[in-house]
């Protein structure tokens, strides 16, 4: 049997001989010698969601402008709903997704909130035919017949 002093000295010798990482790690008897122990899983931090993009309506067309009493007015046509309206600077277009910020007269460009630019659409120089109905001749006037006067009753 081993005496107590020798047991303590032998255990201290083993502790100094082997690194502490090998002693503290759990050794899997089923692994091949020299294989690595599994590493700790990587923890990914969640990132904040990016801001929602500003809705962009590619169906908007800038069709005209004029200045009345020092205020600009702009014709913007929405092809998705087939409707055009006149707007002034600061007005919100359509569903409120865009607001008119600036108008560059030299380039004829309308700048909306979010940096969206609408250039004035060139005219295709076509005119649409007007619907014409077949003209009917004027109806003949119906003569108005005056009823004869009632004779006055006698007393």
Give domain status of residue 144, yes or no. Answer: no
Domain membership flag for residue 49 = no
- Whether 141 is in a domain gets the answer no
Residue 94 within any structural domain of the chain: yes
Helix, strand, coil shares, percent, the chain, to 5 = 10, 25, 65
How many other CB atoms sit within 10 Å of the CB of residue 137? 5
Under DSSP, the state recorded for 134 is P
pLDDT digits over 9-24, tens only?
767 666 666 555 554 4
Is residue 55 one of the residues assigned to a domain? no
Q: What is the pLDDT of residue 73?
A: 92
Number of independent structural domains in the chain? 1
Average pLDDT on 33-41 reads: 72
Could you tell me if residue 143 is inside a domain?
no
Domain range for 83 is 60-119
- Domain-located, residue 98: yes
On whether residue 37 sits in a domain, the answer given is no
| The model's pTM | 0.45
């Amino acid at each position: 049997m081993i005496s107590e002093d020798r047991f303590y000295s032998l255990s201290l010798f083993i502790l100094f001989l082997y690194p502490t990482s090998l002693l503290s790690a759990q050794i899997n008897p089923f692994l091949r010698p020299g294989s690595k122990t599994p590493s700790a899983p990587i923890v990914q931090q969640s990132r904040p969601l990016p801001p929602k993009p500003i809705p962009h309506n590619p169906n908007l067309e800038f069709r005209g402008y004029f200045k009345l009493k020092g205020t600009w007015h702009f014709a913007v046509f929405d092809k998705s709903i087939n409707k055009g309206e006149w707007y002034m600077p600061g007005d919100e277009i359509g569903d409120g997704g865009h607001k008119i910020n600036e108008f560059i007269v030299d380039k004829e460009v309308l700048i909306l909130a979010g940096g969206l630019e609408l250039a004035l659409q060139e005219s295709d120089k076509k005119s649409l035919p007007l619907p014409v109905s077949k003209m009917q001749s004027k109806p003949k006037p119906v003569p108005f017949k005056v009823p004869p006067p009632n004779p006055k009753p006698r007393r």
